[in-house]
Amino acid sequence: MKIGITGGAGFIGGHVADELEARGHEPVIFDHLGRSTSGHKVMLGDVRDDVAMAELAAHTDGIIHLAACLGTQETIRNPRPAAKTNVEGGLNFLEAITQYDIPGVYIGVGNHWMNNSYSISKTTIERFTDMFNRERGTRCNVVRLVNAYGPRQSVAPPFGPAKVRKITPAFVCRALTGQPIEIYGDGQQVSDMVHVTDGAKALVTALEKAAAGTVLDRVVEVGPAEHRTVNEVAQQVIQAAATLGFPAVPLIHLPMRPGEIPGATVTADTSTLPLVDMSADTLVPLETGIPDVVAWYTQHWLPSYQAGAA
């Protein structure tokens, strides 16, 4: 099938494109960025443009909707961009797949219950998806990911240009440059992690199920069965860097940022994984995923960072 991926130029989108290709599908990346991190060609388009979304639906056999304005604390002071991209863009996606009667998949967030602009706007479209499926005959499945990590995730300042600071690149870049790892709060909060390739598999299977006429009556949640605190994830990064010869760095604790909740737990209900033919024991374990991703940043990010810093 020819499958549109909105936000396909991003981190998860690149891995979804790889997974689609591996299964014999043809990915069509739709993004308002003119380039992609995965080397796929990009069709320039904006999800806030209902006509562009209808065009994408008219020329594809299904759409995986990933485009979003991200950031938990970044979107609190100015909720409008998240509302416009995530809510209006999400509605454009649902209208387009309904109009052209093609299957769709919507990606939700692990912290869907939190009241910040990002979670509220992302979860609003989960609720609209349920309404469209029930009332309009739409075929759209919802897959929520906990914190995704893996190769090619973009890096925020001072290490790179990304607007949103994501936990893994932030920890890895500091560990590889000999700087203390900054943790907001006491680090005892649980923010579970899923390897991006597992997320991509779940998203593509959910699309294939919708294409075969199966509209799942539950949201699929992708994340591990065993929970880890942020401190434990940081220690795994430090250990993985140490095995590559980087000296161990300390952890420093900073005040929590707006929107972060002390003691918060972001986990997945792994009983939903069989809905996409997966189970928690087949997911990439953090014990191998973190060393792999540290090695990836050592090879693909560190040399250019050091060249720029020199």
Site residues (vs ligand NAD, CB under 6 A): 6-7, 9-13, 31-33, 46-48, 66-70, 85, 89, 107, 109-110, 122, 145, 147-148, 154
Instruction: Give the nearest distance from C-beta 191 to ligand NAD in angstroms.
Output: 10
Of 32 and 246, which has the nearer Cβ to ligand NAD?
32
Radius of gyration of the chain (CA): 19
Of 85 and 249, which has the nearer Cβ to ligand NAD?
85
Instruction: Give the nearest distance from C-beta 45 to ligand NAD in angstroms.
Output: 6
Of 32 and 228, which has the nearer Cβ to ligand NAD?
32
Provide the CA 25 distance to its chain's centre, in angstroms: 21
Instruction: Give the nearest distance from C-beta 221 to ligand NAD in angstroms.
Output: 10
257-268 burial string, b = 16+ CB within 10 Å, else e? eebbeeeeebbb
Of 51 and 244, which has the nearer Cβ to ligand NAD?
51
Residue whose CB is nearest to ligand NAD in the complex, by number: 10
Instruction: Give the nearest distance from C-beta 160 to ligand NAD in angstroms.
Output: 12
Instruction: Give the nearest distance from C-beta 152 to ligand NAD in angstroms.
Output: 9
Instruction: Give the nearest distance from C-beta 42 to ligand NAD in angstroms.
Output: 9
Of 249 and 266, which has the nearer Cβ to ligand NAD?
266
Of 37 and 138, which has the nearer Cβ to ligand NAD?
37
Rounded Cα gap, residues 42 and 283, in angstroms: 29
